[in-house]
Amino acid sequence: MFDSGVGGLSIARCIHQQLPGVHLVYLADNACFPYGDQPEEVVIRRCLELTAAALEAWPSDLVVVACNTASTVVLPHLRAMTTVPVVGVVPAIKPAAQLSRNRRIGLLATPATIRRPYLDQLVREFAADCELTRLGDPRLVRWIESWVAGEPLPADALDAMLAPFRHAGVDTVVLGCTHYPLIGEVLQQCLPEVLSWVDSGDAIARRTAHLLAQQGCPVESLLPLAQPVDAALFSGTVPAGLSSFMSGLGLTAARIHGHWPVAASRCATATGSA
């Protein structure tokens, strides 16, 4: 499982809940966090290099790109690199359109995701009759990373950030970044008038189960694991409090490594500068 930070743990939690006997390896390129600030070519290169290194060290049956920003640009490249099936995440526009009663939907995502042409395609295909309010604030993923490390969320700033959804009267919100379900309860408290909150976690878990079953993996007969995460790998420094946070999600890790691999612990741009 791959993400630029801790956000992919929301997907890992869903997979573990549906497939408690499946071993997970979590890989976070937090040396280059957040990916929304990086050029596409850097995101693609980092994803390919780190995923290749992880597959060599921990041969796996499936790769899950648990990052919306990365999924919009890297999936074809990853699938060309490896024969291992690759699953990506995309904003859950289709189920949101099915749930919305007043046809007003809010999309909470990173600035990079809300600008992708792929999002416009999803809206045209599945939500053409809906009014979509897009909200992409670069501060939110940073707040969540800091919150995981023990810092409080800035409640007033978060409440102000979500004001466009109140003004638009949305009844359904798509969480278009895997970080955001980690603070789902907080978001619901900020917007109690929203009827439905939609993310991709459960759908990715179902897709994971399907692809593993196709490969003959006896996922339903596997015994639940006390330590479902074989390794949590971070290209930068391991976030403070990570072990206890992961345990709180039911994702106890057998080992946690920072600056992994050593060659990837410094994020270089496409021009080679820091």
The residues annotated with a catalytic role in the active site are 67, 177
35 is in an annotated binding site: yes
3 is in an annotated binding site: yes
CA distance linking residue 102 with residue 107, whole number of Å: 15
Longest dimension (CA), the chain: 51
36 is in an annotated binding site: yes
CA distance linking residue 217 with residue 241, whole number of Å: 34
CA distance linking residue 19 with residue 33, whole number of Å: 28
CB of 229 within 8 A of CB of 254?
yes
Phi then psi for residue 252, to 5 deg, are -60, 135
Task: Give the other-Cβ count within 10 Å of 102's Cβ.
Answer: 12
69 is in an annotated binding site: yes
77 is in an annotated binding site: no
CA angle 36, 149, 10 (to 5 degrees): 60
Half-sphere exposure of 79 (CA within 13 A, CB side): 9
| Amino acid identity at 267 | C
CB of 108 within 8 A of CB of 174?
yes
CA distance linking residue 145 with residue 246, whole number of Å: 13
199 is in an annotated binding site: no
Q: Would you say how long the chain is, in residues?
A: 274
**Binding site, annotated residues:** 3-4, 35-36, 68-69, 178-179
Q: Provide the annotated binding site for substrate.
A: 3-4, 35-36, 68-69, 178-179
